[in-house]
Structure 1
Amino acid sequence: MATSKKSTESTPRNPMELPTLDELKSLIGQFKLPGVDVNALAEWQRKDLEALAEANRQAYEGMKALAQRRTEMLREALTEWQENLKESTGKDAFAKQSEAAQRGMQQALDNFRELAEMEAQARNDAWKVVQERINENMANLQKLLPTRRS
């Protein structure tokens, strides 16, 4: 009977999972840099990773909402198209088709504008998270660097 041997190797880390603070400290500590506050550096990197994860989440949510809205618009357009086909018989069929085409064109332009605004908002929301973290990093760097006196 074969006995199962427990692997001493750790299971591979999910690449989408953020490292823990202890893992960051351990990784940075391997470099043994004199005069460097490993805890502060690890915390700094953790905040960077959190900001990046949040920016990705914001971008994902924005694109998801965009895709859902685009699907809704397609359904609405197909429903309207079916209704127009039902009404396209009779004496005034050409006038109804012309009017429906004008409404359809205006709706397409409105939809395009709405989707463009949603996409821009999603991009701006994600960038804002990154930009705020960059500003925090710059402020931290200014605190760490010695000031010149004239």
Structure 2
Amino acid sequence: MTHWDEILKKSEQLYWGLLGCRLIASEQDYITIGLTATPQHLNHMHIVHGGVQMSMMDQVMGMLSMAIQDGQPCVTTNMNTHFVESMKEGELFATARVLHLSGRTVTLQAEVSNADGTVGAISTATFIATRK
């Protein structure tokens, strides 16, 4: 599994840090990240903006893609998202797992849930490892 300390430290100045993401768990077959949703993550209806949930899922799936591709950077080629429940302020978690690996291409599934375990969004995506 990829060692995340150095990567995440550099990422604090990037979109990861802007969102307020943090690594929760990094295992062989899944990765979980967290975010404390504050008013800045909400839309005008006072629920977590869908873009925040999509960003969390894209981030966690990209991290898992990179981990299983031996640290090779990966980019999203396609992402499909279903929003199934509104999320409010508080702790959110995004977990990704691999559905299929074929050469440089990885297909994954992710979901965002809150501290109660309620799922807010589900996504599948395909990533491709960039060439060295």
Normalised-by-shorter TM-score class: under 0.3
TM-score (norm 1): 0.25
Higher-strand-fraction structure: 2
Higher-helix-fraction structure: 1
TM-score (norm 2): 0.28
Question: Which structure exhibits the higher relative contact order, with contacts defined as CA atoms closer than 8 Å and separated by 6 or more residues?
Answer: 1
